[in-house]
Chains A and B, each alone.
Chain A
Amino acid sequence: MRFSIEEILETINMVSKENLDIRAVTMGINLQDCASPYPEELCTNIREKIYSVAKNLVPEAEKLERKYGIPIVNKRISLTPISTVIAPAVRGLEKEHAIDIAVKVAKTLDSIGADLKFDLIGGYSAMVQRNISYSDEVLIESLPRALSETKRVCSSINVGTTISGINLDAINLIAKKLKETAEATKIQKGFGCAKFVVLCNAPEDIPFVAGAFHGYSGGESTINIGISGPGVVKTAVQSLKQGATVVEVAECIKRTTFKITRAGELIGKEIAKNLNTSMGAVDLSLAPTPKTTDSVAEILEEIGLEQTGAHGSTAVLYLLTNAVKTGGAMATSRVGGYSGAFIPVSEDTKMNEAVKCGALSIDKLEAMTAVCSLGLDMIAIPGDTEWEVIAAIMADEMAIGVMNNKCTGVRLIPVPEGKEGQDVDFGGLFGKATIIRLNKKSPAKFVRRGGRIPAPLHSIRN
């Protein structure tokens, strides 16, 4: 036989027992040519463009799921940052009217998403790392409405880059709007905030939401793939002999990630070909879900931590992220997106258990984000947290990214009326979170200074 029984069974077990899946097939779509000064025409253009490019995305992905026997969990689209697309339509208008137009666009996207069965839509976004244009401001101010009045629309705002520094004014505005978004979705425990992430050094080809948007250099359309498989990696590490060294652990993770990435690459290439578009990036991130055996924290614990959050967590996460990247980079020449390991609290049952029992603090999480791919992710915080504190948490995380030349993000959910230690259930893949303890000292004087924190010295490379 061309393949050994062991090889065939390994692949089948990865899917049936260890939750191997393609986490996201995300089609990036350029909407720059849809811009119009007339809101009706703008919405019609967007509708026509998305239908013409992506109407077969879901059926094609489903076909490949059956052909290869690997589930594709999410089928999504990501768009040109919408603040650019709405710019001509909001030019010169009063803020309130302009916000109405932005929300109208968000609702149009939502209805297209429902029609074409996309689970989420990324790209209700803006790039404000240097300054904020009027349409950026409109988009940010529309967030409480856009995120509460739609189901699928997700937003990311890039507020810093290593080249530009950190736009504290943008962070301050966003922090206030995040609190309003939580209030606007109070009935869902502030869930609107789960569809929003603030980023620095945002890659243009992220397949995962809320961060996904179609970068300005992405061409007309492209397919980006998010692989997954924490369970597969954990099983592989578990099968190592007693007392295996860290080198052997890294080697084992590399080999496993190679296989997972090749599966992602195969599906990405084929779906791109079938949809007559180009293959973009394979994002090598290990993305957990609340299912048992689908946890990144469990891998860390399998490597040797009593519980995630213990001293050594940062080192073990570094080992994992680095091995995932090394194995993945051998398997595809299209590494992109975040590429590393996600450590979302609510979406990873074991991660949340560590928060609940006090083993994992927000400070340790922050340290861990210096070596993983995203940042402070899906963390529930008390509803009465001051906006200044939210802004300061964001600024801290952006500082890690900007200084270290990497992407970081913050996705916080200030749970209305929620108190430290309470449990919140967001449902489904978004999971459960225990509201985390925050530092009680005020950073208000710092964040209220506003302005742009200058870029690090190593940004001057020309």
Chain B
Amino acid sequence: MLEKELVVLTAFGKDKTGLVAGITKILAENKVNIEDLSQTIMQDMFAMLMLLDISESGIDFETLQKKLDEEGNKLGLQVKIQHKNIFESMHRV
């Protein structure tokens, strides 16, 4: 089994139906495993955080970001993925 490669996905936008489905569909199609998920609605705004493992995925980081951008545009969501190391460096000693 490959070593996990974890990235953090953040998605923000106006709440409506099908947002989680839209994003997770892209992830499933590209064999990206969701390790953890948290989602909330703040003043009508949808905010979602996910911890993803992209090690089994056949596509690279940048292609995945592109696909998520395309889906995000359709859904009216800003979707960003960032390697987890940046959060680990800044918030863990």
Contacts of B86 in A (CB 8 A): 11, 68-70, 263, 266
Q: Are B90 and A1 in contact (CB under 8 A)?
A: no
Q: Are B83 and A68 in contact (CB under 8 A)?
A: yes
CB distance from B16 to the nearest CB of A (A): 21
Alpha-carbon distance between A8 and B87 when the two chains are bound, in angstroms: 7
- Say yes or no: is B44 at the interface (Cβ < 8 Å to chain A): no
Partner of B89, one of A12, A66, A265: A265
Contacts of B80 in A (CB 8 A): 12, 69
Q: Are B36 and A2 in contact (CB under 8 A)?
A: yes
Q: Are B90 and A262 in contact (CB under 8 A)?
A: yes
Q: Are B61 and A3 in contact (CB under 8 A)?
A: no
Q: Are B85 and A266 in contact (CB under 8 A)?
A: yes
- Say yes or no: is A115 at the interface (Cβ < 8 Å to chain B): no
Secondary structure type dominating chain A contacts: helix
Q: Are B89 and A266 in contact (CB under 8 A)?
A: yes
Q: Are A8 and B8 in contact (CB under 8 A)?
A: yes
Alpha-carbon distance between A8 and B84 when the two chains are bound, in angstroms: 10
Residues 1-48 of B contacting A (Cβ, < 8 Å) = 6, 8, 10, 36, 38, 40
Residues 1-54 of A contacting B (Cβ, < 8 Å) = 1-3, 5, 7-8, 10-12
Q: Which of A2, A5, A63, A70 has the most CB of B within 10 A?
A: A2
- Say yes or no: is A97 at the interface (Cβ < 8 Å to chain B): no
- Chain B window 48-74, contacts with chain A (Cβ cutoff 8 Å), 1 for yes, 0 for no: 010100000000011001000000000
**A-B pairs under 8 A by CB, number:** 60
Q: Residue of A at shortest CB range from B84? A: A2
- Chain A window 62-77, contacts with chain B (Cβ cutoff 8 Å), 1 for yes, 0 for no: 0100111110000000
CB distance from B38 to the nearest CB of A (A): 6
Q: Residue of B at shortest CB range from A20? A: B90
Q: Are B38 and A1 in contact (CB under 8 A)?
A: yes
Contacts of B36 in A (CB 8 A): 1-2
Interface residue tally for chain A (C-beta within 8 Å): 21
Alpha-carbon distance between A323 and B83 when the two chains are bound, in angstroms: 29
Q: Are A68 and B38 in contact (CB under 8 A)?
A: no
CB distance from B12 to the nearest CB of A (A): 9
Q: Are A263 and B89 in contact (CB under 8 A)?
A: yes
- Say yes or no: is A419 at the interface (Cβ < 8 Å to chain B): no
Alpha-carbon distance between A66 and B62 when the two chains are bound, in angstroms: 7
Alpha-carbon distance between A3 and B49 when the two chains are bound, in angstroms: 10
Contacts of B65 in A (CB 8 A): 66
CB distance from A31 to the nearest CB of B (A): 33
Contacts of A8 in B (CB 8 A): 8, 10, 49, 87
Q: Residue of B at shortest CB range from A14? A: B90
Q: Are A3 and B62 in contact (CB under 8 A)?
A: no
Alpha-carbon distance between A66 and B40 when the two chains are bound, in angstroms: 26
Contacts of B49 in A (CB 8 A): 1, 5, 8
- Chain A window 261-290, contacts with chain B (Cβ cutoff 8 Å), 1 for yes, 0 for no: 011011000000000000000000000000
Q: Are A3 and B91 in contact (CB under 8 A)?
A: yes
Contacts of A2 in B (CB 8 A): 6, 36, 51, 84
Contacts of A260 in B (CB 8 A): 90
Alpha-carbon distance between A354 and B68 when the two chains are bound, in angstroms: 46
- Say yes or no: is A186 at the interface (Cβ < 8 Å to chain B): no
Q: Are A11 and B87 in contact (CB under 8 A)?
A: yes
CB distance from A270 to the nearest CB of B (A): 8
Contacts of A266 in B (CB 8 A): 85-86, 89
CB distance from A436 to the nearest CB of B (A): 38
Contacts of B90 in A (CB 8 A): 7, 11, 259-260, 262-263
Contacts of A263 in B (CB 8 A): 86, 89-90
**16 contacts across the A-B interface (CB closer than 8 A):** A1-B49, A2-B51, A3-B87, A3-B91, A5-B40, A5-B49, A7-B90, A7-B91, A8-B10, A10-B91, A11-B82, A12-B10, A259-B91, A260-B90, A263-B86, A266-B85
Q: Can you add 20 more A-B contacts, CB < 8 Å, to A7-B91, A262-B90?
A: A1-B38, A1-B49, A2-B51, A2-B84, A3-B84, A3-B88, A3-B91, A5-B49, A8-B10, A8-B49, A11-B82, A11-B90, A66-B65, A67-B83, A68-B86, A69-B80, A69-B82, A260-B90, A263-B89, A266-B85
The 4 closest A-B pairs by CB, nearest first: A69-B82, A262-B89, A68-B86, A266-B89
